[in-house]
Amino acid sequence: MSNEKPSMAWLIIRSILFGLLGLVVTPMLTAILVLGLAYTFDSRCGTPGDSGGCEMGAFSVALAMALPGFAIGFFASLIPGLRRRNRAGIGG
């Protein structure tokens, strides 16, 4: 591991990129998980009388997870980067 100083701008840009990755990946995984659980535990899902209720529920949950997914990706990248900077003795 090198002792090079990672710039703060690069750390922020990298965190934003990981945040955007979380913004895309987290809702997709959440929708797949919710649909899988719904079809497993609710016998009405996928029947003609359901009219897409399970799918809309999965979409709603996935949409609600978009911003938390960004935050998870952003901070999962930012916090280790800041710790590396502090360990390297970089101030400000």
pLDDT digits (tens, 9 = 90+) for 41-86: 988 888 888 788 888 988 999 999 999 999 999 999 999 998 888 8
Radius of gyration of the chain (CA): 20
Residue 62 dihedral angles phi and psi, to the nearest 5°: -65, -40
Write down the residue that tokens 């990755």 correspond to: 21
27-43: average pLDDT:
91
pTM listed for this prediction: 0.79
**Cα distances (Å, whole numbers) of residue 18 to 50, 66, 77:** 37, 13, 7
- Listed in sequence order, the DSSP H helices in 1-92 are 8-41, 53-64, 66-87
The answer to which of 15-19, 32-36, 86-90 has the lowest mean pLDDT is 86-90
